Amino acid sequence: MEETYLLNVEGVKKKILHGGQGELPKLQDGSKFTFHFQTLKDDFERTVIDDSREAGMPMEIIVGKMFKLEIWETLLSSMRIGEVAEFWCDAIHTGMYALVSRGMRRIAEGRDPLEGQKHRCGMGNMFDYHSTGYDDLDELQRTPQPLIFIMELFRVEDPSAYKRDTWAMSKEEKLAAVPVLHSEGNRLVLRREFAQAAAKYQEAVICLRNLQAKEKPWEDGWLKLESLVTPLVLNYCQCQLELGEYYEVLEHTTELLQKHNDNAKAYFKRAKAHAAVWNEREAREDFQRVAHLDPSMAAAVKKELKQLGERMRKKHVEDRKRYQGLFQSSQG
């Protein structure tokens, strides 16, 4: 089956490549589309820009959540479940594609899609991006042009039928999710399921960081959110210590201490991570800061320093034996 026609939208043409099933889905605010897509240039070669199958995961967007590329909601609303369709969209609809693609690529790479974004509105951010970090997207940003989208719609879910992803939540939903995630993390820690607990703490931090991105740094709203972030980051670091991810702990505690250089718990966790990777001088310095900042932790610091001394002495003895063995074998 192949049919070409204009949608009732200026600058859009649709071609059905494979018919879908049933009626057009009934949509409401919060309905979720799940689909695969390909984005192609409207050139002789039909150059592929993005392909969600190659990225390894389908795309999801929420109706009414102001997705940057608004035309996609319109295109998907014209499709039936199981339908595959090709849409030609004029440049009036594709100007934001470079930023949308940048975010999707960063998510596929396991990075924060908002990283580096300044505290400004969407259009302001567009002009701040001198580079997206991807050459092909930089070209699209400099020269808006028609694009072709090939979409395959898998399912449409009502808001009550799925767990809301963090990025799709409203401000109120994110704030409500944080204590729930925090308590779920604590429950998993009690069961010594540290990797799962860390994931809960991390999700809560992402909720708060997304909200912080809309506040001015160091002003009241930002500081209130930061006060919620700090204990979650410390809990996350404790899980990483238990999992042996010491460099992860060093990274996050150092970042935390750059903002809050009087946090004794952050110094304590960083000291333990330093000790675990044999950074003796750094570990001793951090433990001493802990005792100075929080005298109630002096006993714990004394115990850690004693253990550190014993581990370092044992290591020095083993190193001497190893070197002696190497020297004797070279003499022989």
H helix and E strand count, the chain: 12, 7
The model's pLDDT over 31-70, given as tens digits with 9 standing for 90+, comes to: 889 999 999 999 999 999 999 888 777 888 888 765 678 8
The model's pLDDT over 208-240, given as tens digits with 9 standing for 90+, comes to: 998 998 899 889 999 999 999 999 999 999 999
Type of residue numbered 246:
Y
For the chain, what are the domain ranges? 4-157, 171-311
CATH 3.10.50.40 corresponds to the domain 4-157: yes
d(CA 37, CA 123): 25
Cβ atoms of 154 and 81 closer than 8 Å: yes
Kindly report the CATH number that applies to the domain delimited by 171-311. Answer: 1.25.40.10
d(CA 163, CA 169): 10
Provide the pLDDT for residue 99. 85
Cβ atoms of 195 and 236 closer than 8 Å: no
Type of residue numbered 283:
A
Q: What residues are paired with 37 via a beta bridge?
A: 151
Portion of the chain with pLDDT greater than 70, in percent? 85
User: How many beta carbons lie within 10 A of that of residue 329, not counting itself?
Assistant: 8
Map tokens 């925090």 to a residue.
Answer: 182
Provide the pLDDT for residue 309. 87
For the whole model, what pTM was predicted?
0.52
Tokens of 90: 């004029």
